[in-house]
Amino acid sequence: MKAIRTRGGLSVRLDVRTTVVVTLLLLAALAASVVLIGTGDFEIPAADVVRTLLGDGNAGQEFIINELRLPRVLVGLLVGAALGLGGALFQSIARNPLGSPDVLGLGQGATAGALTMIVLFQGSATAVAGGALVGGLVTGLAIYLLAWKRGVHGYRLVLVGIGVSAFITAINGYLLTKADFVDAARAVVWMTGSLNGRDWEQVWPLLALCAVLVPLVLVYGRPLRMLEMGDDVANALGVRVERTRLVLLTASVLLTAAATAAAGPVSFVALTAPQLARRLTRSPGPNLMPAMFMGAALLIVADFASQRAFGADQLPVGVVTGVLGGGYLLWLLVAQRKAGRI
């Protein structure tokens, strides 16, 4: 930890290792994005991609990059960042590495909202995204109310979330059985989680939401760090515990629901990104910025792997994150058991 003092007397504490990790993750996400933009049936060298993004490409490259590939990559970056930050908030509030939106049922809630629009109303892509957003918000509110008992505590939040997740999973299965073949096929594709066909219509709403919520969450970084020490300690230090927890939970639900609305329920990014970021920074705090950039880098790398690692067969990015995240979850459960925590 290093203290930096300005001439005006302002003092800022800077964690050098965390700053280096955040910088490297940002560079990795940007480098992977440039490579991904150049990937496809029409290969474009990385230097030409950068030149075109700076406004110095030819007409063909500008159309392919700016209209076809750049929106998909931006959606991937924003979805990964939103999931990483939302997962870090949930895990910090629950004080449990399993306290992730994947485990607590927010993804399933958003899926229920999307399935309702697909199966019952044959809704458009915009209606499906809106249904997913509403479904995630309603699920988050239900979990909060059911977990409330003179406050919301970590393990109660996790247990209630697991129960709600199981209940909504059953509802989603029922909706699928009631769908006709075309709607069921469309629903299954959406439920996998994919960046295929994403354009600027998905970029702008997600970008606007992140522009509002990310600064808000970072402002609450210090109170969140105190919450990790327990409610009594946080109260003694002047933190308004329930207000802080409600604001951060709402922000996390919004981030997760918006990401799911934009790309479908991309699994395990919200679970793995905060834990990987914490291991890199070796910091006990919430690691909000590292988790956010880790999520962005993870999703872009997974999308690249989904397009290039399986030959001619291109997989939805949710399949790749599911395989990697499932293995990580098994390892995490084994580690928690050996540590005597479960």
Exposed/middle/buried for 221, CB within 10 Å: 0-12, 13-18, 19+? Answer: middle
Q: What is the pLDDT of residue 95?
A: 79
Q: d(Cα 11, Cα 6) in Å, to the nearest integer?
A: 6
Closest CA to 302 of 281, 279, 325, 331: 325
Q: What is the pLDDT of residue 335?
A: 74
Q: What is the pLDDT of residue 184?
A: 82
Instruction: Fill in the amino acid letter for 283.
Output: S
Q: What is the pLDDT of residue 297?
A: 94
User: Model pTM?
Assistant: 0.88
- Would you give per-residue pLDDT tens digits along the chain (342 residues)? 555 555 555 455 667 888 899 999 999 999 999 999 988 778 888 888 899 888 887 888 888 888 888 999 999 999 999 999 999 998 888 777 777 787 788 888 988 898 888 888 877 878 888 888 899 889 988 888 888 777 666 677 778 888 888 889 899 888 888 888 888 887 887 788 888 878 888 899 899 999 999 999 998 888 888 877 777 777 777 778 778 888 888 898 899 988 988 888 888 888 889 988 988 888 877 889 999 999 999 999 999 888 877 665 677 888 888 888 777 778 777 776 776 655
Instruction: Fill in the amino acid letter for 166.
Output: A
SS3 100: coil
Strand 11-14 to strand 2-5: parallel, antiparallel, or no bridges (unpaired)? Answer: antiparallel
Instruction: Tell me if 71 sits within 8 A of 198, measured CB to CB.
Output: yes
Closest CA to 110 of 47, 40, 168: 168
Q: How would you write 244-310 as a 3-class SS string?
A: HHHHHHHHHHHHHHHHHHHHCCCCCHHHHHHHHHHHHHCCCCCCHHHHHHHHHHHHHHHHHHHHHCC
Q: d(Cα 335, Cα 167) in Å, to the nearest integer?
A: 28
Which structure tokens are listed for 170? 């059953």
Which structure tokens are listed for 1? 């930890």
